[in-house]
């Protein structure tokens, strides 16, 4: 595991974009694992800049998103499909046919999850997985107590995450209570993982994930077991780390 501490969220975003850009330059057909949420938004803006300047080509890039709310169509403004279109896909030359987001409307969710896993494998596996981290240590929608070997599945969203997400919805009732998410096991199969975090509200959980015991109480701590994970952490989020990195 590597920890890179940056002076600002902007610098964190640039560093994240640099790592994604390196993966795409190394393999123009790279399979990217992508995250939503507030944290990667500026990193996506950096990637759009690189594309517009001619420095990066997404024509053959393929992608799989981590998760999607159950019950929201891709056209809903809070769906993760819509988020990805607005924050990245609509602004670069990626072929939308090569982008995948779990189907929150699937009639047979179990089958659809198994198909998602199979498709990741059929497309050669994820070369680089981008992650954020929830204030309770979740990665994707793998809430505390998620197993290390878990795969794509339907999960209940924890009360804490429902409250964290309420800011995006008009009323509490509208906040989805279930989601489809890649599992911890799915994420750990990625060849490289880049986790981004910024803000003092993430300081405790970053310290627990990086320096605490590997425990299902802090799902991000399972990343300690991965062969090539980089935590890119802005200094406030890194403020409770004891080690010097
Ligand atoms: C998003 C995702 C979530 C977020 C996490 C942090 O696809 O899987 O795990 O990464 O909730 O969200 P933000 O970045 O909004 O703090």
Per-residue pLDDT tens for 207-239? 999 999 999 999 999 999 999 999 999 999 999
Task: Give the position of tokens 């709310």.
Answer: 69
Range of the domain at 82: 2-143+157-232
Q: Mean of the pLDDT values across residues 136-158? A: 96
Cα gap 76→65, rounded to integer Å: 16
pLDDT, position 132: 98
Q: Residues with catalytic annotation?
A: 67, 136, 138, 143
- Answer whether residue 27 is part of any domain: yes
- Asked whether the predicted pLDDT for residue 134 surpasses 90, the reply is yes
What is the 8-class DSSP label of residue 139? B
List the structure tokens of 87.
């924050």
pLDDT, position 15: 98
- Answer whether residue 195 is part of any domain: yes
pLDDT, position 37: 94
210 three-class SS: helix
Q: Mean of the pLDDT values across residues 162-175? A: 91
CATH of the domain at 176: 3.40.50.1360
- Asked whether the predicted pLDDT for residue 51 surpasses 90, the reply is yes
By residue count, the chain amounts to: 245
Cα gap 24→173, rounded to integer Å: 40
pLDDT, position 217: 97
pLDDT-based confidence at residue 131 (cuts at 50, 70, 90): very high
- Asked whether the predicted pLDDT for residue 59 surpasses 90, the reply is yes
Pocket test for ligand 1, best of 9, 33, 36, 102 (most atoms within 8 A of CB): 36
Q: Mean of the pLDDT values across residues 109-121? A: 98
- Answer whether residue 127 is part of any domain: yes
- Answer whether residue 245 is part of any domain: no
Q: 38 in ligand 1 pocket by Cβ < 6 Å?
A: yes
- Answer whether residue 49 is part of any domain: yes
- Answer whether residue 102 is part of any domain: yes
Q: 181 in ligand 1 pocket by Cβ < 6 Å?
A: no
Cα gap 208→117, rounded to integer Å: 29
- Asked whether the predicted pLDDT for residue 65 surpasses 90, the reply is yes
List the structure tokens of 132.
């954020």
pLDDT-based confidence at residue 245 (cuts at 50, 70, 90): confident
- Asked whether the predicted pLDDT for residue 160 surpasses 90, the reply is no
Cα gap 129→28, rounded to integer Å: 16
Q: How many domains does the chain have?
A: 1
Q: What is the residue with the minimal CA distance to atom 9 of ligand 1?
A: 140
- Answer whether residue 61 is part of any domain: yes
In the predicted model, what is the mean pLDDT of the chain?
97
List the structure tokens of 126.
């994820």
Q: 138 in ligand 1 pocket by Cβ < 6 Å?
A: yes
């Amino acid at each position: 595991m590597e920890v890179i501490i940056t002076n600002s969220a902007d610098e964190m975003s640039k560093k994240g974009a640099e790592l994604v850009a390196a993966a795409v330059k190394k393999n123009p057909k790279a399979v990217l694992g992508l995250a939503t949420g507030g944290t990667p938004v500026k990193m996506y803006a950096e990637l759009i800049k690189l594309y517009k300047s001619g420095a990066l080509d997404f024509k053959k890039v393929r992608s799989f998103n981590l998760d999607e709310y159950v019950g929201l169509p891709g056209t809903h403004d809070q769906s993760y499909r819509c988020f990805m279109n607005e924050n990245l896909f609509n602004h670069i030359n990626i072929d939308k046919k090569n982008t995948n987001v779990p189907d929150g409307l699937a009639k047979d969710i179990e089958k659809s999850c198994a198909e998602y896993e199979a498709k990741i494998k059929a497309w050669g596996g994820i070369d680089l997985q981008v992650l954020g981290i929830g204030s309770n240590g979740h990665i994707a929608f793998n809430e505390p107590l998620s197993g290390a070997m878990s795969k794509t599945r339907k999960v209940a969203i924890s009360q804490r995450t429902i409250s964290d997400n309420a800011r995006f919805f008009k009323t509490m009732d509208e906040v989805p209570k279930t989601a489809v998410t890649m599992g911890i096991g799915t994420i750990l199969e990625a060849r490289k993982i880049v986790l981004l975090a910024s803000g003092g509200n993430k300081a405790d959980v970053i310290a627990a994930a990086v320096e605490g015991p590997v425990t299902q109480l802090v799902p991000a701590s399972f990343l300690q077991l991965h062969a090539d994970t980089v935590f890119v952490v802005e200094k406030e989020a890194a403020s409770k780390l004891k080690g010097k990195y």
